Amino acid sequence: MNITKRFLKYVSFTTTSDENTKMTPSTPGQMIFAQYLFEELKSIGLQDVDLDSYGYVMATLPANTEKKIPVIGFVSHMDTSPDMTAKNVKARIVNNYDGGDILLNEEKLIVLETEKFPEIVQYKGQDIIVTDGTTLLGADDKAGLAEIVTAMEYLIAHPEIEHGKIRIGFTPDEEIGQGADHFDVAKFGAEWAYTMDGGEIGELEFENFNAAAAKITVKGLNVHPGYAKHKMLNSMRVAQQFTSMLPRHETPEHTEKYEGFYHLVGMEGTVEKSSLSYIIRDHDRDRFDRRKKEMQHLVNKINSEFGEGTATLELRDQYYNMREKVEPVMHIVDLAFEAMEAVGVKPNVKPIRGGTDGARLSFEDLPCPNIFAGGHNFHGRFEYVPVQSMEKAMMVIVKIAEIMGGK
């Protein structure tokens, strides 16, 4: 099966994750997709194909040489972001893209505009997979899945390419920060791995945000508004005061590169009770810790003004910067760099302004840099992926295996 056909099949599965279910996988669609992948991996000839009760899929491409070669792995996630629906994805291919705006949906007048998304112009003449503008596409990370499976299929079909043992692993719930929760590193058995979960062609990443999630709950007191003076405490107004106390320019829309932020991702409330959900991000561990302390400091200020217990903070670390685990084994980054250049891709080494399963796996003794999967505009209606970028990512995987086989 070619990579385009495989990718289009994968995005037909609804695999949106949901942090509120407290289950793994968090949604039934992910297990349905995992079962499909389980059968597909067996059908293309991989061995030790395994699907566990948590929805993790693993498989082996055995070595075809007697050389002593380290076992390496490739990892991608099966879920898509809860930021936008992925139900009934209507993907289509814009063949020989002309470099202009793309009308995604004539009825709803949804247009992928080059003025807003100028990066797409670099793919003029290529074949671009888009949606109809009513769902996300799911290239994050079904492009990565398609690239890994197609690369394994290619290596099986080309036994003249010597390679060592290769392990592949597919995870649920990466988008809600739980993709590594039940990943059995010992069972996976690789010396190192690569997540195929990056963005545009050429991206190669070995450092990412330190990340935490914060929830502030504010208790109020409701009194009839006609008789509320000196009695009512409107929790929504207190919550609004809290948001205004954070640095207004330390938000995603005002930051780039190594700049961290506080990001308000959800809010709900009544007079009696309100809640604010934040994510906290910073590449530097010291600044990251200071950001968390600042959240507690502001909660304390609210309580000092409105009474103890008015605001409470729940804070949970999600993952840390993999750099400290990858730097001691930089040869694995160098290998990916070499493979990219060998297949005609210019490496673009940059920090991830986000996270991958590889960040947490790196702290569980599986160093795991991140390689591009080729997509753009993840988590929204304007997501797209060039077919040629997926093909190049697939060949990077093959070339990594080939280079290792030649050592």
Q: Give the residue numbers annotated as catalytic, written as ranges.
A: 79, 174
Residue at 137: amino acid letter: L
Q: Pull the structure tokens for residue 352.
A: 């991830």
Q: What tokens does 186 get?
A: 């010992």
Q: Is 352 exposed, middle or buried (0-12, 13-18, 19+ CB in 10 A)?
A: buried
Q: How many CB atoms lie within 10 A of CB 217?
A: 17
Contacts of 406 (CB under 8 A, 6+ apart): 162
> How far is 128 from 138, CA to CA, in rounded Å?
14
Cα 16 from chain centroid? 12
Residue 358 backbone dihedrals phi, psi, to 5 degrees: -60, -30
Identity of the residue numbered 131: T
Contact 127, 119 (CB under 8 A): no
Here the tokens at position 342 are 């060998």
One-letter amino acid at 278 equals Y
CA–CA distance, 208 with 308 (Å, rounded to integer): 37
- Residue 61 contacts residue 150 (beta carbons within 8 Å): no
C-alpha distances (whole Å) from 190 to each of 2, 27, 167, 168, 361 are 27, 28, 7, 9, 11
- Taking residue 155's Cβ as centre, other Cβ atoms within 10 Å add up to 20
Q: How many CB atoms lie within 10 A of CB 164?
A: 20
Enclosing H/E stretch for 262: strand 261-269
Given a contact cutoff of 8 angstroms between Cβ atoms, the answer to whether 375 and 384 are in contact is yes
Contact, 39 vs 117, CB < 8 A?
no
> Hey, CA dihedral for 179, 184, 187, 190, is it positive or negative?
positive
